[in-house]
Amino acid sequence: MNLCTAITLAIVANTALAQFNYSFPDCANGPLKSTVVCDTSKSPATRARALIQMFTDEELTQNTDNVSPGVPRLGVPSYQWWSEALHGVAGSPGVSFASSGEFSSATSFPQPIVLGAAFDLDLIKAVATVISTEARAFNNAGRAGLDFFTPNINPFKDPRWGRGQETPGEDAFHVSQYVFNLIEGLQGGIDPRPYFKVAADCKHFAAYDLDSWEGIDRFHFDAKVTLQDLSEYYLPPFQSCVRDAKVASVMCSYNSVNGIPSCANSYLLQNILRDFWGFDDDRWVVSDCDAINNIFSTHNFTSTFAEAVADALKAGTDVDCGTTYSTNLPAALNQSLITRDDLERALTRQYTSLMRLGYFDPPSSQPFRQLAWTDVNTPDAQALAHRAAIEGLVLLKNDGFLPISPKGKKLAIIGPYLNATTNMQGNYFGTAPFIVTPFQGAVDAGFQVQSSPGTTINGTSDAGFQAAITIAQAADVIVFAGGIDNTIERESRDRLTVAWTGNQLDLIQRLSALGKPVIVVQFGGGQLDDTVLLSNDAVRAIIWAGYPGQSGGTAIFDIITGIASPAGRLTTTQYPADFIDQVGMTDMSLRPSSVNPGRTYKWYSGTPVLEFGHGLHFTSFRFSWQKQPATQYNIQRLIRAARSDDTLDLATFDTFQVRIQNTGKRTSDYVALMFLSGNGGPTPRPNKSLVSFARAHDIKAGSSTSLDLKVTLGSVARADERGDLWLFSGSYRLILDTGDGVLTHNFVLTGTDTRIVQWPQDPSA
């Protein structure tokens, strides 16, 4: 079994992991005192270089793995680079939870797929700030490292991908905005000086969205991707993370890209990552776990392990999550496949990052040392987790039945998720301080509740149906809590279907025949084809809950009873079930063809069951332009107006002011999604593209608010076949909200077509 897979299975099972013995170097009394290494007046890079030059060749090679033994003779302790914090401090080799008492839990937020559905960037930054605070507290107690292998920012292109739940969704622009704010919260700012709060890691670089499907796994897969698709879809989130948010580290992926394993791919790791995006030498690249081993063992890219580690190290992979480096780098050095300079460069990057975390500072000046157990699971953190769950829930269907009062009502809650606990956390989770199940949420809301699972998620028998039907017959309202099996939708496994399982649909159908109103609460990171439920008149409402975290049960019934109003939006397309028969997961192309219906809302040529951005409310709104937009823009004037210090694709195209009036009877948030469609450019364009979004909070009945929706030149531009971004003249349309929109505006882009970004070409191609 692959190392990462084995550890991940342990994480998923929430198996206790042994505590790593974290300690800081002693700069007051240890061997390094009075050296440049401990001189905080020097730059982190200068201090790190001085340290690495003291290492012997053997010490260099042995400190290239995620478990670094350190250098005892220099007072450099061992260090575990692999900690996790995807949606809260999480069980992992570098994190340990106490069995009880202090540090026995950490705030468990909803999965990123739910956080993304909130379309609330302030929320994302706030969540990340809490996570980094709790992570530092854990580190101060010796229970976590300072480097966290999060976030997963591969766009969720195929609904079958088991790890799609770890991402914010399918749209590259949305993911880019999400990760920028997440990194700011995790690291304590954009490139904070002098100290990172924690070091984040953007993964998996690049074009990784297949784990194991139809006999093809991530360890063998070669993703064939055009430069146009790399530039326009697969890599923008990484550009935002690296170039704009200044993340501390990047993880290269298991798969190959166009024939070269990602962790040995100098085009990705040098030409794009470092040369094009400016990933400098105080930042480092880590392999996915055992991906270095796979260069030789599964991709057969080299003839020996020594060649594999040499290729990876020289391409720019600095840390091996695994042991392939430490085992084989000595041979590579002896065979002159690498030099000492190659090793020093990798180690200097690692230790420069540690310097920026305060690792080599005297105890009196180490940052964030005041954070302790009292800063974990605070009331504010718990309230934020609850708010995040509410904001991320999406109302898919409502015929006017919701919200309902619990007063005097008998409720039957049925389905395999009714008592879900850790299943509501998804994967890469830690021990939550509490988890409110859907059942408990119903009880706490004030309903008279009876419950029966009725069936398992993948059951083939109706043996439990009768018990569920019996309690449903005595109820006023039926809630069915079901959806996707989390043991199938996870790392190392992809789904083979996007349809509800037959037994769940059968039970819902039988419950529907009782003449009672049915509410379906749908769990799981990906979408299921809801066609049958949407057309079933007895199913009065459908709520997508995803993996809502520790306060999931409370949030669900806050929506059902109207304590809160829904405003979340789907971040993935809900495809018809036969989508899986139209294109294989291994097809990385985005645009429709004779063998591909197109990927995501941008290019899908079929009719979705529910589209990206779908989400209903308990109220109604009226929309208008606060300021009427221009009808014509000139390309050359736009470029001249850009500030000289702007990265051109981030320069402002225009800011569109939208006025939103709540014309209904309930206070509600509203998520404004602004799309752009147009006919400019020589290559087929997307159907439409998200170019800006914002969430307005607590718009009271009868009142109005306004939102400023900034659109950048990069959002208007499109990639050509070389990956270059161009502003193309032509006719365009702004569309507020989904479908045909609730507010539109036509404009013309005039002038000469102009390239605003020149994408690096692969020198080996």
Q: Give the pLDDT score at 7.
A: 43
**pLDDT the model gives residue 680:** 80
- Give the separation between CA 425 and CA 106, rounded to whole angstroms: 12
* Residue 764: band (very low, low, confident or very high) from pLDDT cuts 50, 70, 90: confident
Averaged pLDDT, 74-82: 97
Question: What average pLDDT does the segment 332-339 reach?
Answer: 98
User: Going by C-beta distance under 8 Å and a sequence separation of 6 or more, which residues neighbour residue 639?
Assistant: 648, 651, 713, 727, 754, 756
d(CA 252, CA 218): 12
Query: For the segment 610-648, what is each residue's pLDDT rounded down to a tens digit?
Result: 999 999 999 999 999 999 999 999 999 999 999 776 789
Please tell me the predicted confidence (pLDDT) of residue 15.
Answer: 33
pLDDT of residue 363: 80
Q: What is the mean pLDDT of residues 155-167?
A: 97
Q: What is the mean pLDDT of residues 90-107?
A: 97
Mean pLDDT of 458-465: 86
Report yes or no: 541 and 398 within 8 Å, Cβ to Cβ: yes
Lowest mean pLDDT among 30-44, 163-177, 636-650: 636-650
User: Using only C-alpha atoms, what is the Rg of the chain?
Assistant: 26
Scanning 407-464, the segments in alpha helix (DSSP H) are: 438-445
What's the whole-number mean pLDDT along residues 475-493? 93
Of all helices (H) and strands (E), which one includes residue 310?
helix 305-315
Q: pTM for the full model?
A: 0.96
Using alpha carbons, select from 207, 303, 295, 285 the residue that is nearest to residue 242.
Answer: 285
How many CB atoms sit inside 10 A of residue 679's CB? 11
Confidence label for 16 from pLDDT (cuts 50, 70 and 90): very low
More confident residue, 367 or 19: 367
Q: Answer with the residue of higher pLDDT: 680 or 12.
A: 680
Q: Parallel, antiparallel, or unpaired: how do β-strands 725-727 and 718-719 relate? A: antiparallel
Instruction: Tell me which residue of 237, 144, 224 sits closest to 183, measured CA to CA.
Output: 237
Three-state DSSP class for residue 454: coil
Percent of residues, the chain, with pLDDT higher than 70: 97
How confident is the model over 704-762, as pLDDT tens digits?
A: 999 999 999 999 999 999 999 999 999 999 999 999 999 999 999 999 999 999 999 99
Q: Give the C-alpha separation, 22 to 79, whole Å.
A: 7
Which residue is it, tokens 């028998």?
461
In a 3-state reduction of DSSP, which class is residue 758?
coil
* Separation CA 350–CA 673 (nearest Å): 40
From CA 173, how far away is CA 189, in angstroms rounded?
21
The angle, 0 to 180 degrees and rounded to 10, between the axes of the packed helices 340-355 and 44-52 is 140
pLDDT-derived band of residue 9, with 50, 70 and 90 as boundaries? very low
What pLDDT does residue 3 have?
A: 46
Q: Say yes or no to pLDDT of 681 above 90.
A: no
Q: pLDDT for 525-583, tens place per residue?
A: 999 999 999 999 999 999 999 999 999 999 999 999 999 999 999 999 999 999 999 99
Q: Give yes or no for residue 288 having a pLDDT over 50.
A: yes
Phi first, then psi: what are they for 670, rounded to 5°?
-140, 130
∠112-113-119 over CA atoms, to 5°? 85
27: closest CA among 9, 11, 7, 42?
42
pLDDT at 19: 63
Of the listed ranges 66-70, 128-132, 326-330, 458-462, the one predicted with least confidence = 458-462
Task: Say which amino acid occupies 120.
Answer: D
Mean pLDDT over 682-697 rounds to 92
Check residue 460 and report its DSSP letter: -
Catalytic residue numbers?
Answer: 288
- Mean of pLDDT values over 245-253: 98
Helix (H) or strand (E) run with residue 57 in it: helix 57-62
Q: What is the mean pLDDT of residues 497-501?
A: 96
Alpha carbon distance 616, 398 (integer Å): 8
Q: How confident is the model at residue 682 (pLDDT cuts 50, 70, 90)?
A: confident
For residue range 397-455, list pLDDT tens digits in order: 999 999 999 999 999 999 999 999 999 999 999 999 999 999 999 999 999 999 999 99
Q: Which residues contact 599 (CB under 8 A, 6 or more apart)?
A: 157, 158, 583, 589, 590
Q: Mean pLDDT, the chain, as a whole number?
A: 95
